[in-house]
Structure 1
């Protein structure tokens, strides 16, 4: 299955590139079409709507045509959307391509995660950390590449780049051998984490609700950092715009490094302890940003935030699947759905707060969100204290 994992990593790299393809040229794109930020925001929402649609139907598509052909379909959707957008067609067609791109991204992510969760039990965090490294690399590479394309006055080349990569990947999926029984248990394994042996429909509903709530909050926090970090530094630290924009690059460099390290750390540290350290550090670092108004110190805090936040998403997702064996498709769908919701709704809320409160107050708001994330983890750890035995393959479903 090494070929499958490698190709899945390339898909995650492509997802990272595609996720940033429009945002990286947003200002130039809006100027080309002569439209406002309001319409631009609606295009982002349409991509999010396509993402929700993809989350909802991807599991149905997998059941109909299997993992391989679902990934071929998802890759083709992204390829067509990106290449057509690169041609700069009329705005009604752009609306369709935004929907297609979001749909393809969701199908790709949901299908790959569900397959890895199902086939790599005992190695989920190690394997998924590789996916997250490549996604982070794509999110980091795209803005850097686009800056060069803009300098050459060919800003739309980024869409062609993503489209061609997606097209090549769609062809590769037709030929890669997929054998779920081969080599899936060979290689480094996650550290042992005991099962959350909750009983009763109410307790199971509470547990899955806490997991998806954590995903919602984490992805929302990460999205707030992506969208508002330069504005925070410009208004709070009073540094130049050109320098402030580099804070997001620094944050993602730390995220990629941290995700690469997560795959090694999680071999020795149980899921709950890893999250306790990571979320606790994140909460403290947000508080330090609010307390210390110094450019050099805050740059260091941003880098450390990237490291501390880097493994949270993948470990929450793996931990949720670990808690509900045999429910991989359903758990993954819920996780992906609430990740999309958090990434869309939390920045909208934080944007409103930025308009109505001071930067320092909003840094404390981010600290409060991290504190809530920490409190939700404590709920799970209290449930974990009641465990009686290691995880078994026939653990009860979270639905009664």
Structure 2
């Protein structure tokens, strides 16, 4: 290259131009030649590396190299060849103009730092995509870790660029930057909190991608679709997207439905309120009539015999119904609903099934149905629950019970 430089310089001098003009013309010619060489080297190197990487990825079983190609890592690595050539050749071009050489070298170094960042970014993105294909890591906040690595990478890269521009050593620059650490902590407060939160979430396994979470403070009720450094994205059931700060997962309360989804059923816990005045003892005639209900006919027969034997053995005066032991319509109805639910095909028989009384209220006696549907899908779960209560509300009348509701002429509404 030195010979070419001298050749052009001597040629321009032989044309009778001044030495300064010859140096400028020499610089321009060398710049054009090197630009062409760098362009050809870039295109040729890129084609060779890309073709090689494509063939290599096609012949391997792993998809890691395919992801490298997808995220353009080989293409960006190919730019290193013209970069190295630029570092070697441009000082020769501007040999006679050191003031230009300083700026050109600075620009090349800045470009080298940016190119290095983009290459590392492509590799990190490849790892991110690859980790997401591993079943054990699909529900982990991989995005957060990659973003943290990219954040530190850009901080180091920008600091290196600034150190080059102001002509200060990298170590001295960071020493000076330490004085402004308080300001940096303030600027990157959310990022730092998000980083710490994402680590705690991953270690404690409190939230995974795909989990159904409910967070009333942020209006979130749906599946987690992404966990990154700054936000957790939740796709609500109305298909809207709610963004929650990542650090809110360790500072605020939320409900994770993963336990329900991984269990054998989804809980049904709802009450109907019975009028207190409709609750009564059952007479012999009432019991005989209720024996026509197949689900409880055996139960009534057994209970009636037990109660009759007890009352007889203890010489109970049954001329007054309250004396001795008796069946009540609400008790028999509770047993009926218990048996009905236990025989329902959509209820999980291996989990708790219970029909119980709650504490009385001014409106009446709450009778709660507590069980678990086998189908945990929301729509089917609602159908199962509605089916149970449709039956319960209609069955009430067969036991001479009434469900509480405000009368249409309720004075308080006037």
* TM norm structure 2: 0.23
- By percentage of residues, which structure has more helix? 1
- By percentage of residues, which structure has more strand? 2
Structure number with bigger Rg: 2
* TM norm structure 1: 0.24
